Amino acid sequence: MFAALELPPANTPTGLIGDIGGTNCRLALASVLPSDPGGAPQTRLFAPMTLKCADFPTSEAGISHYLASVGAPPPAAAALAVAGPVQDGRAHLTNAQWQLEETALQSALGIRTVRLMNDFAAMAFAALVMGPADLAWIGPPVQGRAGGNIAIMGPGTGFGLAALAGGRDEGLLVTEGGHADFAPADLEEVELLRVLMHRHGRVAVELVLSGRGLENLHAARAEIAGARPPGLNAAAITEAAAQGNADAAATVAKFCDMLASVAGNYALSLGAQGGVFIAGGIMPRLMKRLDAVAFRARFEAKGRFAAYLRDIPTQVIIADDGSLRGAARAWTKMVP
């Protein structure tokens, strides 16, 4: 998909594409090019670059650095996926200090049109163009309902949730479901919730299902066991689990169970009979530890609606350029 260190051909419509998260800012250029003779035009991404948000005081500074580094003039249009809510053309990253505004970006960068979108809105668009190599099944390859709603959710720096009504990008539904209240599904989770409420007050889904959430769970489990919290970060916890550490492995297993339960809740809430796609930056590491049978059991454990959920497919988006591809799909709708 990427043509690294190469700029789009001259005299072709070119756009700036971005995936701006709480930690990293990933940028690329997009162009619509002919495919095989007689085939439909294809969107390709060129000159990808990843920047650390903390290295730049503003989004304008980071994007300007990118355009100068690749030697590209400001394109006519930009589509930027951001890890936070977008309202009235403005966004403040939920887990970083950057603030973005469409009109300010247009003025500072010399770009005629800038569109900001929630990063999981971009992932929703991307879900429509994912192929078999971009996805990994959790459980059996259930067909799902043709034309049914689809949901896209998952843990990264935060927890994102979006949906497509009717499985079409015109039916995009952007949500902040990651900030909904977390609900325990067994007695162990009731105790975890008690500890987390004592520490943090209100416990949202994101507080337990994110990189930070994995750390919170590990510390809470240690407190319940009467042990000293180990103070490990999310990467260290998953690595310890892979190395056979029992406490870390139990934390990761609990995290996956809770993710499955939340996915089932949102599948019901959104009527996602077309499928549930799990995305997010920490999923590639978790896939090696995720028990598909246990995940589906928790996903479907919704009493009288177990059969309803049994017919809903669950897949993980394993492509590492999903948000960029979704933003590129949004950009194509901006091309005259």
Question: Ranked by mean pLDDT, which of 121-130, 252-261, 320-329 comes out on top?
Answer: 252-261
- Closest of 315, 269, 324, 275 to residue 292, by C-alpha: 315
- Closest of 318, 19, 311, 323 to residue 139, by C-alpha: 311
Give the separation between CA 313 and CA 275, rounded to whole angstroms: 5
Judged by average pLDDT, the poorest of 2-6, 163-167, 169-173 is 2-6
Are 222 and 325 found together in one domain?
no
- Closest of 115, 40, 47 to residue 80, by C-alpha: 115
Q: What is the mean pLDDT of residues 45-67?
A: 93
Q: What is the mean pLDDT of residues 24-41?
A: 78
Are 145 and 86 found together in one domain?
no
> Residue 93 is part of a domain; what is its CATH number?
3.30.420.40
Q: What is the mean pLDDT of residues 250-264?
A: 97
Give the separation between CA 267 and CA 306, rounded to whole angstroms: 12
pLDDT of 208 reads 98
Are 80 and 229 found together in one domain?
no
Per residue in 58-101, pLDDT (tens digit) is 999 999 999 999 998 999 999 999 988 899 999 887 666 788 99
Q: Which domain holds residue 62?
A: 2-125+321-332
Are 85 and 200 found together in one domain?
no
pLDDT of 3 reads 45
Q: What percent of the chain has pLDDT over 90?
A: 72
Please, which pLDDT band fits residue 1 given cuts at 50, 70 and 90? very low
Sheet hosting strand 42-52, strand order edge to edge:
2-3, 42-52, 24-33, 14-20, 77-82, 113-118
Give the separation between CA 135 and CA 124, rounded to whole angstroms: 14
Are 143 and 104 found together in one domain?
no
Are 167 and 300 found together in one domain?
yes
Give the separation between CA 39 and CA 26, rounded to whole angstroms: 30
Are 185 and 307 found together in one domain?
yes
Are 83 and 153 found together in one domain?
no
Are 51 and 191 found together in one domain?
no
Question: What is the full DSSP assignment across 229-242?
Answer: P----HHHHHHHHH
Whole-number average pLDDT of the chain:
91
Are 144 and 279 found together in one domain?
yes
How many separate domains does the chain show? 2
Number of C-beta neighbours around residue 329 at 10 A: 20
Question: Ranked by mean pLDDT, which of 113-127, 250-264, 275-289 comes out on top?
Answer: 250-264
Are 261 and 137 found together in one domain?
yes
Are 140 and 73 found together in one domain?
no
> Residue 219 is part of a domain; what is its CATH number?
3.40.367.20
Angle between helix 246-270 and helix 211-224 axes, rounded to 10 deg: 120
